[in-house]
Structure 1
Amino acid sequence: MIVIGAGIVGAACAREYARQGLSVAVIEQGAVGAGATAASMGHLLCVDAEGAPDTHEYQLSQRSMQLWAEWLAESPAHGEAAEHDQCGTLWLAADEEEMQAALRKQAWWREVDQPTELLDADQLQRAEPLLRAGLFGALHVPADARVYPPRVVARWLEESRATLVRGEVVDIQGSTVRLADGRRLWGALIVLCGGLASQRFLPAGCLQPKKGQLAITQRSGSSTVRHQLVELGYLKNAHRTDEDTVSFNLQPRPGGQLLIGSSRQLNRDDTELDLAMLQRMLAHAGSFVPTLPQMSLLRCWSGIRPASRDGQPLIGAHPRLERVWVACGHEGLGITTSLATAELLAHLSLAQTPLLDASPYSPTRFAATP
């Protein structure tokens, strides 16, 4: 079978199909684990459904977190290769309204037996001294973690024993994939995992780009952060479709580095740095960590999140092409949900019983798109 795309979702699919006994070829035009995978923060988190119309996003992320835990438990080498750190997440409440939101989230997590801890202002200051004074508190989710996605991709492709084919896919006809240089490859199954590039083979408008800026500081031997820090307004901003946004999202990296996000620019598919948006994002981060503006930046870059038009990823049979299956459009949750996506797609395409309800993710929902 053929997997198109060597990002983290493609690598997860290659690994899963290999575990099912299939031989796998992975086609990639650029560098392995590049694109949206390399531009991500690598935050592993189970998404709650407090205030959501359904629990589909929670179910997909929760199943994937189980699969991540199983993979990490298979060998200590997996955690080392992934640079895994169960740092936990602190969802920060800047005011009383956000503290009430934290309380509602904690109540929801309690219903599904997910351990959380509510920190008041003093407890938060002791937990993370670099944060500014005056925050109301935070919700601590200790099970969350972070990984370095490009190294995970390399490991999963190694485990899949996939044949890596360098090239650009320009056409898919039945079981045949044609590359730009004229080569033709045949696969009993074809899985489309090319991120935003998958749009050329899908009904118009299925995927939308959301550009993001990131920055990482120099290593520091001084006091640093210990948890992934995210403001509670992040999720609201992540789903905005009417304006560009910035949110505070800070991640500790090895050696005292800090990875800084997050921004979203709608319908931007270029990867050039936007200095105005970067400055806006860094200024917002500095309003939470006052010492941040004094730290030296090692690198700044941008990436493109491949988002679906309705906010749900595309996982399932292609709406028009037989033998072609789709796994893309995860936006900011591709790292977390990669393993559950691969498992669900393998179950569907190999006529096995899925563990999750696949209907919300079916690409056929876009079949009528002109």
Structure 2
Amino acid sequence: YAQTRQQSLARDGVACAMLDEQALRAAEPALREDLRGAMIVPDDGVVYAPAVAAWLLGQPVKGRIATRLDANVERVTRTGVQLADGESIAAGAVLVANGFDAARLLPGLPLRPKKGHLLITDRYPGTVRHQILELGYIKSAHNASGTSVAFNVQPRPTGQLLIGSSRQFDTVDPAIDSAVLARMLARAAHFLPGLRDLNAIRAWTGFRPATNDGLPLIGPAGPFAAGLHPATWLAAGHEGLGVTTALATARLIAAQMSNGATPIDAAPYLPARCAPQEAAHG
């Protein structure tokens, strides 16, 4: 499977290579010794969401975009949006791009919360040199039901290790589930035995906005905005990839909103695919 994955990435122009057992040991000595090999993606990277958001907000837009922080939208109206403080803002179009909370603004939107746990350790520089994940992570990430865990560890610039991952459906309780956290850490220690000797300083949870088919909702809101602003658009449901696919999503939605040529086929992501049949044809 690893070789098939490597060949698929190579065909798409992604630099990657297979490592044998000896090369893997040299790259990541902390991994358990009986692993036979791995695939390395040299250009893979990790972004820190708050830093990305700050960078995007700091881009020069020559007065074309007015940013209002701490202005919570209460509802979408026929002419724009109404804020929580009662202020109404008229707009030529409304783009709903607020993750799982999009379902509050557009009732009936097929978004499900997918709960996840993360844990971060104290500082142990050099323990792990690359982001490492098991190939089974991809299967776990796309499960449509149940609870799953998979090995994923990221070395932070501080020397800390960020450890994941878990996925749970059908809960909106933000409390740490000790049983799931224990499963997740046991899976991580299965690959990195030395983790058992490290100190954890914090664990937390979050919710990913998931769709039934695993693809985001990018395009006109259609039947999900019935009775609201006629030009309501969606960019939501990216599960755990909202930050890393943000710029591509922006290009795709901007092209649709301006009736321009889309950089990729927009059809697989159109919200209308998720609408009930009677609504889609009504």
TM-score by length of 1: 0.70
Distance in 1 (alpha carbons) for counterparts of 2:232 and 2:136:
38
Distance in 1 (alpha carbons) for counterparts of 2:99 and 2:140:
22
Distance in 2 (alpha carbons) for counterparts of 1:174 and 1:115:
48
Distance in 1 (alpha carbons) for counterparts of 2:139 and 2:107:
28
The DSSP-based 3-state class of the residue aligned with 2:207 is strand
Distance in 1 (alpha carbons) for counterparts of 2:141 and 2:10:
24
User: Could you say which residue in structure 1 is the equivalent of 2:106?
Assistant: 202
Query: Is it true that 1:352 corresponds to 2:252 in the alignment?
Result: no
Residues 40-74 of structure 1 deviation map (CA, whole Å, 9 limit, x = unaligned): xxxxxxxxxxxxxxxxxxxxxxxxxxxxxxxxxxx
Q: Which has the higher contact order (CA 8 A, sep 6+)?
A: 1
The DSSP-based 3-state class of the residue aligned with 1:216 is strand
Query: Is it true that 1:269 corresponds to 2:172 in the alignment?
Result: yes
User: Could you say which residue in structure 1 is the equivalent of 2:131?
Assistant: 228
Distance in 1 (alpha carbons) for counterparts of 2:69 and 2:46:
29
User: Could you say which residue in structure 1 is the equivalent of 2:142?
Assistant: 239
Q: Aligned residues: percent identity?
A: 44
The DSSP-based 3-state class of the residue aligned with 1:332 is coil
* Correspondence 1:207-356 to 2 at 5 A: 207-221=111-125, 223-320=126-223, 321=225, 322-356=230-264
Residues 283-336 of structure 1 deviation map (CA, whole Å, 9 limit, x = unaligned): 111111111111111211110011112111000011133111100000022122
Distance in 2 (alpha carbons) for counterparts of 1:353 and 1:203:
30
Q: Displacement, 1:180?
A: 2.7
Q: Displacement, 1:365?
A: 1.4
RMSD: 1.6
The letter for the 2-side match of 1:154 is: A
Listed as ranges, the gaps of 5+ residues in structure 2 are: none
Q: Displacement, 1:203?
A: 5.3
* Correspondence 1:1-370 to 2 at 5 A: 101-159=1-59, 160=61, 162-202=66-106, 204=108, 206-221=110-125, 223-320=126-223, 321=225, 322-368=230-276
The letter for the 2-side match of 1:177 is: V
Q: Displacement, 1:217?
A: 0.7
The letter for the 1-side match of 2:160 is: Q
Q: Displacement, 1:166?
A: 2.4
The letter for the 2-side match of 1:119 is: L
Change (3 A) 1:165 1:217: closer
Q: Displacement, 1:205?
A: 5.2
Residues 13-36 of structure 1 deviation map (CA, whole Å, 9 limit, x = unaligned): xxxxxxxxxxxxxxxxxxxxxxxx
The letter for the 2-side match of 1:212 is: G
Asked if 1 retains the 8 angstrom alpha-carbon contact of 2:118 and 2:203, the reply is: yes
Greater gyration radius: 2
Residues 88-135 of structure 1 deviation map (CA, whole Å, 9 limit, x = unaligned): xxxxxxxxxxxxx01111222232332211011121111100001111
Q: Give 1 or 2: higher helix fraction.
A: 1
The DSSP-based 3-state class of the residue aligned with 2:176 is coil
Asked if 2 retains the 8 angstrom alpha-carbon contact of 1:203 and 1:366, the reply is: no
Asked if 1 retains the 8 angstrom alpha-carbon contact of 2:74 and 2:83, the reply is: yes
Q: Displacement, 1:165?
A: 4.2
Change (3 A) 1:285 1:172: same
Distance in 1 (alpha carbons) for counterparts of 2:49 and 2:13:
28
**Aligned residues between the structures:** 269
Asked if 1 retains the 8 angstrom alpha-carbon contact of 2:133 and 2:153, the reply is: yes
The letter for the 1-side match of 2:266 is: A
The letter for the 2-side match of 1:196 is: F
Q: Displacement, 1:216?
A: 0.7
Change (3 A) 1:350 1:205: closer
TM-score by length of 2: 0.90
Asked if 2 retains the 8 angstrom alpha-carbon contact of 1:348 and 1:354, the reply is: yes
The DSSP-based 3-state class of the residue aligned with 2:40 is strand
